[in-house]
């Protein structure tokens, strides 16, 4: 039973097959091949608009490169303090932007709001003594398994656009957000004001490779140079193209996400009826955060369940010493039975514990 991350699972068979199918013959290198170009075209189709799309190898690079198109070194990017760009990427955003400040705000459920952003912007009153706010980065689905709705995205955009700031969406789990909201890719991005999206695939069935998708064409200027200079232009790019095509083909990506989200819901529902466990945030995508007695946690680990102890700062601040906060991530490939076995363990273990305690 492995709920450590969605990226502990392998590659979807259709994507693996696409890699094998792409293997014949020769193809121009460095992105000049048909598959790469078809993938970029397919993204335009999926998003129902003209886009500039660039394949890269990792989500961290996608974010860093996307932010570098928004913020120069003297700029600032506002995000949630628990956003991946703020707290999981070892200064990669600073690296790619040449030293921009990543300003992490607190906010319930991993989300920032126009109100918190505006309050922060009001602190930037001293001209060049502060960095210049250049953009906002939101993660959708968030690191806490919640989602920004299109109207929430739009509200942020409306606040920042008049200030000349751009909106980045970290979509490492974008598919889970689209499905979780029963919306469309277009609705959740450019129609709501997103200027550039890190479009994740590897957490949801691909092997390696993400895309940076620009809706604001001006931001895409010279982006091919940024990608190359960042060591992100892959020689045999056809294999990135093949993955992306198979990922999008027949809505595989949405089907995968649908399955992962459904499992998360099932897991959360099962936990909610366990009186000793609290589910910490709304479960709107494929992650479940739960607070449980440390003893239960230890029993689960002893039974071979894998997951990370990870809890949002605000919830963690209210936990008792005897409690443990855990993150459970569901994937397109997580066996349904694992969810059931996990829930059985939680319920059973606890029964036992209480029995022992008598």
Query: Quick one: which of 72, 115, 318, 352 contacts a second copy (CB under 8 A)?
Result: 72
Asked if 224 interacts with a second copy (CB under 8 A), we say: yes
Asked if 185 interacts with a second copy (CB under 8 A), we say: no
Asked if 116 interacts with a second copy (CB under 8 A), we say: no
Asked if 41 interacts with a second copy (CB under 8 A), we say: no
Contacts with a second copy in 88-107 (CB under 8 A)?
88-92, 94-101
Q: Which is nearer to a second copy, 134 or 157 (CB)?
A: 134
Contacts with a second copy in 189-218 (CB under 8 A)?
202-203, 207-208
Query: Quick one: which of 117, 165, 219, 234 contacts a second copy (CB under 8 A)?
Result: 234
Question: Residue 54 Cβ, how far from a second copy at the closest point, in Å?
Answer: 11
CB atoms within 10 A of CB 42: 17
Asked if 301 interacts with a second copy (CB under 8 A), we say: no
Q: Which is nearer to a second copy, 273 or 313 (CB)?
A: 313
> In degrees rounded to 5, what are phi and psi of residue 58?
-135, 160
Report in angstroms the alpha-carbon separations of 351 from 269, 277, 297, 358: 18, 13, 14, 11
Q: Which is nearer to a second copy, 192 or 243 (CB)?
A: 243
Contact window for a second copy (CB under 8 A) among 128-136, 184-192, 255-263, 297-305: 128-136
Long-range contacts of 43-51 (CB under 8 A, 24+ apart): 43/199, 43/211, 43/213, 43/244, 43/248, 46/185, 46/248, 47/185, 47/186, 47/189, 47/190, 47/213, 47/215, 48/184, 48/185, 48/186, 49/186, 49/190, 49/215, 50/217, 51/213, 51/214, 51/215
Contact window for a second copy (CB under 8 A) among 44-52, 148-156, 224-232, 268-276: 224-232
Q: Which is nearer to a second copy, 74 or 155 (CB)?
A: 74
Q: Which is nearer to a second copy, 172 or 194 (CB)?
A: 172
Task: Return the residue matching tokens 């514990």.
Answer: 353
Asked if 157 interacts with a second copy (CB under 8 A), we say: no
Residues 247/205, Cβ–Cβ less than 8 Å:
yes
Asked if 28 interacts with a second copy (CB under 8 A), we say: yes
Q: Which is nearer to a second copy, 94 or 216 (CB)?
A: 94
Question: Residue 74 Cβ, how far from a second copy at the closest point, in Å?
Answer: 4
Rounded-to-integer distance, Cα 145 and Cα 202, Å: 17
Buried b (16+ CB within 10 A) or exposed e, 160-179: beeeebbbbbbbbbbbbbbb
Task: Say what angle helices 336-357 and 294-302 make with each other, to 10 degrees.
Answer: 130
Rounded-to-integer distance, Cα 331 and Cα 262, Å: 10
Q: Which is nearer to a second copy, 22 or 277 (CB)?
A: 22
- Two structure tokens written together for 136: 């906002």
Asked if 137 interacts with a second copy (CB under 8 A), we say: no
Q: Which is nearer to a second copy, 130 or 251 (CB)?
A: 130
Query: Quick one: which of 108, 183, 184, 230 contacts a second copy (CB under 8 A)?
Result: 230
Strand spans (E) along 273-332: 278-279, 287-293, 308-309, 323-329
Contact window for a second copy (CB under 8 A) among 35-43, 184-192, 235-243, 288-296: 235-243
Task: Tell me which DSSP letter residue 291 carries.
Answer: E
Question: Residue 126 Cβ, how far from a second copy at the closest point, in Å?
Answer: 8
Question: Residue 200 Cβ, how far from a second copy at the closest point, in Å?
Answer: 10
C-alpha 92, offset from chain centre: 16
Rounded-to-integer distance, Cα 11 and Cα 14, Å: 8
Asked if 16 interacts with a second copy (CB under 8 A), we say: yes
Asked if 231 interacts with a second copy (CB under 8 A), we say: yes
């Amino acid at each position: 039973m492995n709920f450590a991350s969605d990226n502990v699972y392998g590659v979807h068979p259709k994507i693996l097959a696409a890699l094998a199918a792409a293997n014949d013959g020769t193809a121009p290198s460095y992105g000049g091949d048909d598959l790469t170009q078809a993938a970029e075209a397919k993204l335009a189709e999926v998003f129902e608009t003209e886009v500039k799309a660039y394949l890269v190898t990792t989500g961290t690079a996608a974010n860093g490169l996307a932010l570098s198109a928004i913020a120069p070194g003297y700029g600032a990017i506002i995000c949630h303090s628990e956003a991946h760009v703020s707290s999981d990427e070892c200064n990669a955003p600073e690296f790619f932007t040449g030293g921009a400040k990543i300003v992490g705000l607190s906010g319930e459920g991993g989300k920032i709001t126009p109100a918190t952003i505006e309050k922060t912007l009001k602190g930037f009153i001293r001209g060049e003594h502060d960095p210049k706010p250049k953009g906002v980065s939101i993660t959708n689905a968030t690191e806490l398994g919640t989602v920004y709705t299109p109207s929430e995205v739009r509200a942020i955009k409306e606040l920042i656009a008049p200030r000349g700031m751009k909106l980045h969406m970290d979509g490492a789990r974008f598919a889970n957000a689209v499905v979780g909201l029963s919306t469309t890719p277009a609705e959740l991005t450019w129609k709501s004001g997103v200027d550039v999206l890190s479009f994740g695939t590897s957490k949801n069935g691909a092997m390696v490779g993400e895309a940076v998708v620009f809706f604001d064409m001006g931001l895409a200027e010279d982006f091919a140079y940024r990608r190359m200079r960042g060591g992100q232009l892959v020689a045999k790019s056809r294999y990135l193209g093949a993955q992306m095509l198979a990922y999008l083909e027949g809505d595989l990506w949405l089907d995968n996400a649908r399955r992962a989200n459904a499992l998360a819901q099932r897991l959360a529902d099962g936990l909610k009826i366990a009186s000793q466990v609290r589910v910490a945030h709304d479960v709107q995508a494929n992650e479940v955060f739960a607070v449980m007695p440390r003893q239960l946690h230890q029993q689960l680990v002893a039974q071979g369940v894998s997951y990370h102890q990870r809890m949002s700062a605000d919830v963690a601040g209210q936990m008792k010493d005897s409690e443990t906060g855990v993150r459970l991530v569901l994937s397109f490939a997580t066996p349904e039975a694992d969810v059931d076995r996990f829930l059985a363990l939680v319920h059973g273990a606890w029964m036992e514990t209480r029995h022992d305690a008598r």
